[in-house]
Amino acid sequence: MTTHGDDLVFVVDDDQSVREALSSLLRSAGLPVETFSSPQEFLERARPDVPSCLILDVMLPGLSGLDLPDMLARAGREIPIVFITGQGTIPMSVRAMKAGAVEFLTKPFQDQELLSAVGHALDLDRGRRARRAELAELTMRVNQLTPREREVMALVAAGRMNKQIAAQLGTVEQTIKVHRARVMKKLGLDSVADLVRLAERLALLQGEMDPSTGVMPK
């Protein structure tokens, strides 16, 4: 498993011996670890802005491990989760997967199984963070445009000619040429093809974002 210096793994399990064993295993793989005895304790921890994942025991006293993903989603705190349990059932695993689990492991599991699941979860989080940063950068660039320039941008990206855009927006072709030139300059683009690619990428990333939570899915 390839590790990165800024990765962080959280472990939530009410069994101290399990927490210690998992912590030892993960640290031996070069991963920083923080452990918690309950979901409540984990929720009180301010999560650092680094690629991370959560190893979560399903069967916990009080707040269930299966309830925690819903609470995190409502709070907009996205994190890939690897569920572990000593009493796995099919309905339980189905619910965990619906909650967005990266993996559902039944104890006893092999060390490599867990490390592989954690590596995959961290890769997912890095990818999601990269897409979210890209979305923020593209949005910032487009937000430099005036409302009319954004209209022109959308119509150019849709393949409309200057004359067609002028007719649709109720203006003259020369005005559209001016707006179009400003759009290209502000966005730092050299061609219509570049503009189309930017618009398509922005639409794709915006489509991935959950509008109710602002969360970027895995």
pLDDT digits (tens, 9 = 90+) for 14-25: 999 999 999 999
Same domain for 111 and 150, yes or no, is no
The residue segments making up the domain with residue 148 are: 144-208
Whole-number pLDDT of residue 211 = 46
For residue 192, give the CATH number of its domain.
Answer: 1.10.10.10
Domain ends where: 130, 163, 186? 130
pLDDT digits (tens, 9 = 90+) for 74-107: 887 889 999 998 776 667 777 777 767 888 898 8
Same domain for 124 and 150, yes or no, is no
Shortest CA distance to 148 belongs to which of 133, 129, 168, 122? Answer: 168
The residues with which 52 forms a beta bridge, in sequence order, are 8
Confidence of residue 174 (pLDDT cuts 50, 70, 90): very high
Burial of 26 (C-beta count, 10 Å sphere; 0-12/13-18/19+): buried
Q: Which of 73-82, 90-99, 154-163, 190-199 has the lowest mean pLDDT?
A: 90-99
For residue 86, give the CATH number of its domain.
Answer: 3.40.50.2300
Same domain for 184 and 126, yes or no, is no
Whole-number pLDDT of residue 194 = 96
Answer whether residue 215 is part of any domain. Answer: no
- Percent of the chain with pLDDT strictly greater than 90: 65
Same domain for 59 and 119, yes or no, is yes
Q: In what order do the strands lie in the sheet with 8-12?
A: 33-36, 8-12, 52-57, 81-85, 101-106
Determine how many CB atoms are found less than 10 A away from the CB of residue 21: 14
Q: Which of 61-65, 79-83, 93-97, 209-213 has the lowest mean pLDDT?
A: 209-213
Answer whether residue 137 is part of any domain. Answer: no
- Residue 210, pLDDT > 60, answer no
Confidence of residue 73 (pLDDT cuts 50, 70, 90): confident
Q: In total, how many domains does the chain have?
A: 2
